[in-house]
Structures are given as C-alpha cells and as structure tokens.
Structure 1
Amino acid sequence: MHPWSVLAMAAPEPPHGATLGGTLEVVALVSIVAAVVGLVLVEFVFKSKMARSTYRWTLLLGLFVLPGVALLGTTGHMFESMKAVEACQSCHVMDPFVVDMHNPESATLAARHYRSGAIPAKQCYACHTGYGIFGTVESKRDGFRHWLLYVTDTWKEPITFKGTYPNSNCLACHATAPAFTRVDSHRALGKQLANDEMNCFTCHGLPHPSRPSRAPTRAAVH
C-alpha cells in the first residue's frame, strides 16, 4: 500500500468545548447585529427624543466602534481558523505532510506525536507557531517567501524547506517534561540545544518525510 494512502485508524480526539475562534466569531456577529439594529432604532425611533450630542455619540458607536469590534473579531477568527490542520492541507503541496502525519506506520516525528496524542488539536500550528501573528521576524520572512513561490507558481517539487526552525519550538513543550529531563544526554547538551548549536532532529529523526520519499503533487491541480 502506498504510504500516502494509509490513514490513522484512530486519530487523537480534539478537546471539546468553546474555542477562541468560535468566541471571536460570535463577538463579530453580535457587534454587527447590534450596530445595524442600533442605527435603525436611533435614526427612525429615538432621534427626535435624543439630545444632539447623544445622537452623535450613538452614531459614532454604531458606525465606527461596533464595526471596528466586528472587524477585530473576524480577523481574530481568521487567524484562529488558520491554525487548524485543514487550513494547512488546503494548500495541495502540504498533502504529503498531513497524510504522513496520519500514517500509523510512519516513523517521522510528526506522525509519532500525532499517534501518541501529545498534541490533540492544531497539530501543525503547535510546532510551527512562528507563522502565527506573534511569530518571529525570521518566520515571517520564511513564510512570505513560501507564499510568494506558491502564488507565482514557481516552486519545484518535491518542495524543499529553506528556512529556520529553532530548537525553542521543541523545547517549549519538552524542556520541562520528565521524559525529557531524565535523559542524561539532554541535560548534558542543554546549552547546545538552547543555543541551536545542535539540532533536535540529529538524534530524533526527521519531522516530516524526506524529500526523495515525497511524490510531487502539482499534477493533482494541473
């Protein structure tokens, strides 16, 4: 069976309950409804009963403040939704990486983390937080280059990662974990790992399939 066609039998179940993205979406919708309803009532029902200054402040609230809140809510919802694995996979060149993560036979770090349930949701973003709104300048530079190659249709397949991936992305979760700290080599190499003088992948293997093992996906859309 081709490795890309093998999917995990039981995927880790994401946490239930309210999400930040859902909350921001509700805030945006409520703000829009409140602005529209409020403006209609003020203009056609209460205008003659309101002081001039109150009328102006109410218009300011309905025309600028509440729409501004709605804009922030929708923008926040967009950024939050982009953290989902489905958002990453919507770009077809990412298919091999996402399918490998679901592959129960894969030995990559992404697949092993997924199988263990260590990251129950937003698996891509958990390790690539640099692409987020508060990420590093280096990550923004790399992300812009990746985006530019994609929109100009000038990338070569299988794609090659040309960017930076600091150990801090791994250490953010592992540095204080007992399974990490009790390993003698981790403690001995702590300074080198913290300073990126040695890469985590040197000992723990590739996070994703190697370039030769990934089939081109461009044919899927051309």
Structure 2
Amino acid sequence: MSAWSVWAMVAPEPPHGATLGGTLEVVALLCIGVAVLGLLLVEFVFKSSMARSTYRWTLLLGLFVLPGVALLGTTGHMFESMKAVEACQSCHVMDPFVADMHNSQSATLAARHYRSGAIPAKQCYACHTGYGIFGTVESKRDGFRHWLLYVTDTWKEPITYKGTYPNANCLACHATAPAFLRVDSHKALGKQLANDEMNCFTCHGLPHPPRPTRAPTRVTANP
C-alpha cells in the first residue's frame, strides 16, 4: 500500500459547504461587477436623463463605496486564506512540519491531533492563533522577525523556536474536555499550567519533530 493511500485513510475529511473566505471573495467580485456595469450605464445611457445630484451620488457609489466594499472583501478573503495549512506551507521552511503532521506514523502532538480529527481544518492556525489579527504585540513582533529572516534568506537550518508556547492555546480546547478533567494530575497542576509555570509538552511530548530529525529545506545551488 502506498504512503498516499495510508495518508488518505487517516486524514480527516475537509469541511464541506460555503466558507467565509469564499463568501467574501464572491461579495468582492459582485461589487466590482456592479460598480463597473453601473458606471458604464450611468455615463453612457442614463446620464442625460438623471438629475445632477443623482448623477453625483451614483458616481460616488460606483467609484468609492462599492470599490471600498470590494477592498474589504478581498482583504477578508486574504486573511481567511492565510489560515489554511497550504498558506503556511507556502514558505518551504515549513515543509518538514506539514509533512510530519500528515505522517501516519508520527508521534508528535500535531500528527496525533490530525489523525484523530480533533482539528479538521486550519490545523496550523488553530494552535498558532497568536499571529492572527487579534494576537498579542509580541506575536506580531515575532511574526515580523520570521518574515524578515525569510525574505532576506538569513535563517539558520534547522529553524528553532525562540520563546515559550503558551498553555492557554492548549487549554482553550482541552480545559473543559471530560478526558482532560478526569486526569488527577491536570487538576493538581491547574495553577501551574494556567500560569505557564509548567508546559503541557513536558508530559505530552513535542508538538513537532525535534531539530535533528528535520530535513533541511533550504535550496542551494550546485557548486
């Protein structure tokens, strides 16, 4: 059996139906279409029969209001699309992490969550929401540093995480789960976990493969 067949059997089924990103994209395209068609009709068909004030308000709607709505829609679509795993993987330095998550034999937390279907979509974003629009200033700072290292090609292989991962990201889903609450040690260590005095990874293993096991992703020219 091929590796793809194994992955296909354990991979959670992606969600069906309309998505927010797709809806925003449709709204933006409709606004652009209505604005262009409306301006053409007003200028070349109805201009002579329209009151001057109506003509001005129509131009305002077509030149500024509808394009503004289209801009908001495309911006929203961009933010939504950036939550997808494919967006994270578009930086090739993330390839080892995405490959590990899809690996049916991996024991990392990312792979185990993926196999169980606990996070059916947007797996990267679900655990790394600090980069989101409402994330902390520290997360924005770190995100900018990561982007700067990438575009200037100055990162070091294998990449390493600087700082500590907040337990709040784990507890957001697990703190009220019956399986979590049944474990006595979770109750006993509740204060330490809430204050990040003890990390969830101490007992539950690494979320991603350790540095020595990651294949280099940097592309180098042949000598």
Flag whether TM exceeds 0.5 (same fold). Answer: yes
Counterpart in 2 of 1:175? 175
Query: By how many angstroms is 1:194 displaced?
Result: 1.2
Query: By how many angstroms is 1:134 displaced?
Result: 1.6
Aligned CA distance change for structure 1 residues 82 and 55 (closer, same or farther; 3 Å)? same
TM-score, normalised via structure 1 length: 0.94
Counterpart in 2 of 1:97? 97
Which ranges of structure 1 fall in alignment gaps of 5 or more residues? none
1:171, 1:26 → 2: CA distance? 36
Counterpart in 1 of 2:117? 117
2:110, 2:77 → 1: CA distance? 26
Aligned CA distance change for structure 1 residues 143 and 85 (closer, same or farther; 3 Å)? same
Counterpart in 2 of 1:106? 106
What CA RMSD, in Å, does the superposition of the two structures yield over aligned residues? Answer: 1.8
Moved over 4 A (4+): 4-7
The DSSP-based 3-state class of the residue aligned with 1:8 is helix
Query: By how many angstroms is 1:5 displaced?
Result: 9.6
Aligned CA distance change for structure 1 residues 143 and 6 (closer, same or farther; 3 Å)? farther
Which ranges of structure 2 fall in alignment gaps of 5 or more residues? none
Letter in 1 for 2:187: R
Identity among equivalent pairs (%) = 88
Asked if the contact 1:5/1:99 (under 8 Å) is kept, the reply is no
Letter in 1 for 2:78: M
The DSSP-based 3-state class of the residue aligned with 1:218 is coil
Letter in 1 for 2:53: S
Map 1:124-143; keep pairs closer than 5 Å.
124-143=124-143
2:8, 2:187 → 1: CA distance? 36
2:78, 2:163 → 1: CA distance? 25
Asked if the contact 1:7/1:102 (under 8 Å) is kept, the reply is no
Asked if the contact 1:109/1:204 (under 8 Å) is kept, the reply is yes
The DSSP-based 3-state class of the residue aligned with 1:186 is helix
Cα deviation code 1:58-80 (max 9, x no counterpart): 11110001001001111111111
Cα deviation code 1:159-181 (max 9, x no counterpart): 01114421111111111111111
Letter in 2 for 1:145: R
TM-score, normalised via structure 2 length: 0.93
1:24, 1:36 → 2: CA distance? 18
Letter in 2 for 1:131: Y
**How many corresponding residue pairs?**
219
Counterpart in 1 of 2:192? 192
2:221, 2:178 → 1: CA distance? 46
2:220, 2:98 → 1: CA distance? 16
The DSSP-based 3-state class of the residue aligned with 2:7 is coil
Aligned CA distance change for structure 1 residues 48 and 24 (closer, same or farther; 3 Å)? same
**Would you say 1:81 and 2:98 are equivalent positions?**
no
